Structure 1
Amino acid sequence: MTTQTAPAPAPESAPPGIHRAWSVAAVAFVTIIGAAAFASLPGLLIEPLHEEFDWSRGTIGLAVSVNLALYGLTAPFAAALMDRFGIRKVVAIALTVISAGSVATVWMTASWQLVMYWGVLVGLGSGSMALAFAATVTNRWFVARRGLVTGVLTAAGASGQLIFLPLLAWLVEHHGWRPAAVTVSLAALTVVPFVWLLLRDHPADIGLAPYGGTYAPKPAPALGAARRTVTVLFTAARTGPFWLLAGTFAICGASTNGLVKTHFVPSAHDHGMPVTAAAGLLAVIGVFDVIGTVFSGWLTDRFDARRLLVVYYALRGISLLFLPMLLAPSVHPPMLLFIVFYGLDWVATVPPTIALCREHYGEDSAIVFGWVLASHQVGAALVAFLGGLARDAFGSYDLVWYASGALCAMAALMAMVIRRRPAAAPLPA
């Protein structure tokens, strides 16, 4: 007896009107905005959890650091998971895990539960989406306008931060941290039906060509994708540029997600600033983050990526050295100037870092950047934890700001010694 498999949908030209790729991109945009809710919360939880449970800031910072580390370490494998099991399944499961981890914190009574729920569950869920989600959607569904869609999906994270940070800060200040945690859980869970019903893994699933491209059958699942991810890491680790790029990007993560996103609100609160005002400043950083990223991409097309990194890290370090003198009970013009600059500089390092990965590692550059991104999150995790310990030990965050400024100066020096490669080439076998 022979069995027959259902034929694949016949290739079709795009129907008149709006191409299906745009609806897929819209679902991805909404998903990333919903995901921004859980990225916005950690810095708002430090003071409330410290006051209610009398946990040290170092203990709370440990949960945040586990979250950031798992986010980074999961990210390189996320694309492999999506290749193997499909975008829709991976993202739906990731959002469900995030929702469960967030709502479980409402009933926690011990600090290890915070590490397990917020650190492990939310960290694994968020890492399974990370940058791989946006990259996979744009690579599969778009040929034309790919850069535009990538930029829009990248901006969705900052847009979500702008939406959720003030709301979550208001909930924490007026109703406590539990309603904020439930809001994050509901935001993640609400997106799941849209992902499951409207997201599709590949244009060929519905007989379409990608937007601006020609029809191509859906490729077979890449069974060896995870193994290749590890192989590329070991090969890249034998080259000097990899360690310089990973080192500079680790400092980037330390000085953004690990430091400012996690500890700016409690540090400003130490100086008498209301939580809602400090969270509002972080939201403003998200606005200028979008502008800075787009402008940095434009500069990367025109100038030496190494020199751009030197300038970005040097200016970031100088700004961090001045921050302790700017913190005050109210928002004033010099603080706004810091916020605007830090927003412009926040992920300005990403386009030149990607360009240098492409220059040195050619067709393997996407995987190499995944591992460089992992170092970014490991750096963020270390500073999220150590920043809390320093606050417990010294009674203020001043030393943390100064040390981070010095680290950024080190990153500028590291970027300066990265050697140029005339032509991109794949890693040697």
Structure 2
Amino acid sequence: MPPATSASAPVSRRRIHPAWWVAAVAFLALLGAAGFRGAPGALMVPLHDEFGWSMSIMSLAVSINLVLYGLVAPFAAALMDRLGMRQVVSAALLLVALGAGASTLMTESWHLLVFWGLLIGTGTGAMALVFAATIANRWFVERRGLVMGVLTAGAATGQLIILPPVAAMAETIGWRPASLVIAGAALVVVPFVWLVLRDYPEERGVLPFGADAATHVAPERHVGGAFRRAIEGLVFAAKHRTFWALAIAFAICGATTNGLVGVHFIPSAHDHGMPATAAAGLLAAVGIFDIAGTIFSGWLTDRFDPRKLLVIYYGFRGVGLLMLPWLLSDTVEPSMILFVVVYGLDWVATVPPTVALCREHFGERGTIVFGWVFASHQIGAAIAAFIAGVVRDAFGTYTFAWWGGAALCMIAAVLSIVITTARRAPRPAPELEGERVADPVAE
């Protein structure tokens, strides 16, 4: 049957839609850039032993990193429109590698603020989850929630799975070789980014995955005014209560993951007599379960009310933090394994429903608005990372920090359930008039 053969030929020549290759490279880029974000937990004890630096000053360096990681994000989302994703992502990976590599030369505590804080914070900020949201929204019409879940897992898991080798190297041959491993992990991804990543499906001669050729309308492309559009996105979002509910809840999400557990779990376990390598292994296991949890959360987000999912996620997280002080000991007990499983499945499962709510309520502005929501995530993480270090120095224990995180999770659950269901997507900006906003594509 010649007609059928002719029609099926293009499919046979391109079995995998280019969107999946772009998503795969984005996953690797997020994985490589994330390497440093979990490393401070494994490096703080060796740095304290060698230089005598306090937990407070090291926590301050991590806090600067986390703040920049968040604040750069909304501008990076707009900057990708102007310069292109390949250029921004490649430069970001080089900054991460430079900061991690140069940190091996540190001799003073303020060097931490420059290398850990300024350089790596800026680099990872340009590679924040707004990059994942941009990929999901530009390249996919179907499976957006699933793709966002996978990319989020890459960003979160990268900082956890690198912990065991970093902790082992820090204990055996020193923290400097461990820092060089992190730099190498970022550098090795750059060629893949340059060869595969493209800004829009049209550059590969295809439509977004799942798009209908008869109804698809390409989004308006912005070529300038990145700073202006980022600020305008914030001004627009700040007028809506939904934005503040999402931002505060996501700040608590950051406080109870990156800020508390990501930075202070290993030092806290060390306080209870657990070897750093064992504690790092537990955090790596959190990363493994995070992959499954976040991907499954993306699948659930495509099918269920995102608000209810957030309530469940924050509730389970709060219970875990409440119990953590009694679970830590000098050995790994079954109860700690249960904590790792639950916390891992819940680690960043909040991201896909939060992105979906931003898209639902803010339409074409959704990605940049999510950039600001994500900024609040990192501000919350930074505050928690610093306060937890101060609590440890003041009381000699992290118990009050864990309990405070549990209380915050309950607040986040309440904020999530009060978010109203959007009756319709907001009207597009004047320059986007005529485009369909019910199925928004990232700016």
Using structure 1 for the length normalisation, give the TM-score.
Answer: 0.89
Residue by residue over 1:180-217, the C-alpha shift from the partner in whole angstroms, topping out at 9 and shown as x without a partner, is: 10111111122222322343334444555555555998
Q: What is the 5 A alignment of 1:302-341?
A: 302-341=303-342
CA offset at residue 171 of structure 1?
Answer: 0.8
Counterpart position of 2:437: none
The worse-fitting range, judged by mean Cα deviation, of 80-89 and 345-354 is 345-354
The worse-fitting range, judged by mean Cα deviation, of 143-152 and 86-95 is 143-152
Does the Cα contact within 8 Å between 1:324 and 1:398 map onto a contact in 2? yes
Amino acid across the alignment from 2:362:
Y
Counterpart position of 2:433: none
Does the Cα contact within 8 Å between 1:102 and 1:184 map onto a contact in 2? yes
1:385 aligns with 2:383: no
Residue by residue over 1:326-349, the C-alpha shift from the partner in whole angstroms, topping out at 9 and shown as x without a partner, is: 100111111111111111221222
The worse-fitting range, judged by mean Cα deviation, of 277-286 and 202-211 is 202-211
Match of 1:48 among 34, 46, 56: 46
Quick one: distance in 1 between partners of 2:160 and 2:306?
A: 29
Does the Cα contact within 8 Å between 2:164 and 2:284 map onto a contact in 1? yes
From the superposition, tell whether residues 167 and 140 of structure 1 become closer, same or farther in structure 2 (CA, over 3 Å).
same
Counterpart position of 1:98: 96
Amino acid across the alignment from 2:163:
L
Quick one: distance in 2 between partners of 1:162 and 1:50?
A: 21
Q: What is the 5 A alignment of 1:139-150?
A: 139-143=137-141, 146-150=144-148
Gaps of 5+ in 1: 1-12
Does the Cα contact within 8 Å between 1:27 and 1:199 map onto a contact in 2? yes
SS of the counterpart of 1:109? coil
1:136 aligns with 2:138: no
Counterpart position of 1:127: 125
CA offset at residue 289 of structure 1?
Answer: 1.5
RMSD: 2.6
Quick one: distance in 2 between partners of 1:387 and 1:162?
A: 19
Quick one: distance in 2 between partners of 1:343 and 1:39?
A: 16
CA offset at residue 146 of structure 1?
Answer: 4.7
Amino acid across the alignment from 1:107:
L
Residue by residue over 1:344-399, the C-alpha shift from the partner in whole angstroms, topping out at 9 and shown as x without a partner, is: 22122223323333343233222222111110100000111111111111111111
Q: What is the 5 A alignment of 1:97-246?
A: 97-143=95-141, 146-161=144-159, 163-205=161-203, 207-211=205-209, 213=211, 221-246=222-247
Quick one: distance in 1 between partners of 2:400 and 2:217?
A: 56
CA offset at residue 242 of structure 1?
Answer: 1.6
Using structure 2 for the length normalisation, give the TM-score.
Answer: 0.86
From the superposition, tell whether residues 335 and 426 of structure 1 become closer, same or farther in structure 2 (CA, over 3 Å).
farther
Quick one: distance in 2 between partners of 1:315 and 1:210?
A: 36
The worse-fitting range, judged by mean Cα deviation, of 368-377 and 308-317 is 308-317
CA offset at residue 223 of structure 1?
Answer: 0.9
CA offset at residue 304 of structure 1?
Answer: 4.0
Does the Cα contact within 8 Å between 2:150 and 2:294 map onto a contact in 1? no
Q: What is the 5 A alignment of 1:325-404?
A: 325-404=326-405
The worse-fitting range, judged by mean Cα deviation, of 138-147 and 39-48 is 138-147
Quick one: distance in 1 between partners of 2:332 and 2:298?
A: 31
From the superposition, tell whether residues 101 and 396 of structure 1 become closer, same or farther in structure 2 (CA, over 3 Å).
same
Does the Cα contact within 8 Å between 2:78 and 2:368 map onto a contact in 1? no
Q: What is the 5 A alignment of 1:285-296?
A: 285-296=286-297
CA offset at residue 321 of structure 1?
Answer: 1.4
Counterpart position of 1:279: 280
Residue by residue over 1:153-195, the C-alpha shift from the partner in whole angstroms, topping out at 9 and shown as x without a partner, is: 3332355345422111111121121111011111112222232
Quick one: distance in 1 between partners of 2:310 and 2:231?
A: 27
From the superposition, tell whether residues 153 and 357 of structure 1 become closer, same or farther in structure 2 (CA, over 3 Å).
closer
CA offset at residue 137 of structure 1?
Answer: 3.2
Amino acid across the alignment from 1:353:
T
The worse-fitting range, judged by mean Cα deviation, of 127-136 and 242-251 is 127-136
SS of the counterpart of 1:52? helix
CA offset at residue 319 of structure 1?
Answer: 1.8
Amino acid across the alignment from 1:272:
G
Counterpart position of 2:24: 26
Quick one: distance in 1 between partners of 2:84 and 2:309?
A: 37
Quick one: distance in 1 between partners of 2:12 and 2:203?
A: 15
Does the Cα contact within 8 Å between 2:140 and 2:209 map onto a contact in 1? yes
Quick one: distance in 2 between partners of 1:390 and 1:162?
A: 24
Residue by residue over 1:34-81, the C-alpha shift from the partner in whole angstroms, topping out at 9 and shown as x without a partner, is: 223222212112111111111110100011011111010011111211
From the superposition, tell whether residues 194 and 424 of structure 1 become closer, same or farther in structure 2 (CA, over 3 Å).
closer
Amino acid across the alignment from 1:382:
I
SS of the counterpart of 1:41? helix
Counterpart position of 2:434: none
From the superposition, tell whether residues 85 and 176 of structure 1 become closer, same or farther in structure 2 (CA, over 3 Å).
same
Q: Percent identity?
A: 58
From the superposition, tell whether residues 294 and 423 of structure 1 become closer, same or farther in structure 2 (CA, over 3 Å).
same
1:59 aligns with 2:41: no
SS of the counterpart of 1:330? coil
SS of the counterpart of 1:259? helix
From the superposition, tell whether residues 183 and 146 of structure 1 become closer, same or farther in structure 2 (CA, over 3 Å).
same
CA offset at residue 325 of structure 1?
Answer: 0.7
Quick one: distance in 1 between partners of 2:247 and 2:21?
A: 35
Match of 1:38 among 36, 61, 69: 36
Quick one: distance in 2 between partners of 1:202 and 1:291?
A: 28
CA offset at residue 140 of structure 1?
Answer: 3.9
CA offset at residue 149 of structure 1?
Answer: 3.8
The worse-fitting range, judged by mean Cα deviation, of 222-231 and 415-424 is 415-424
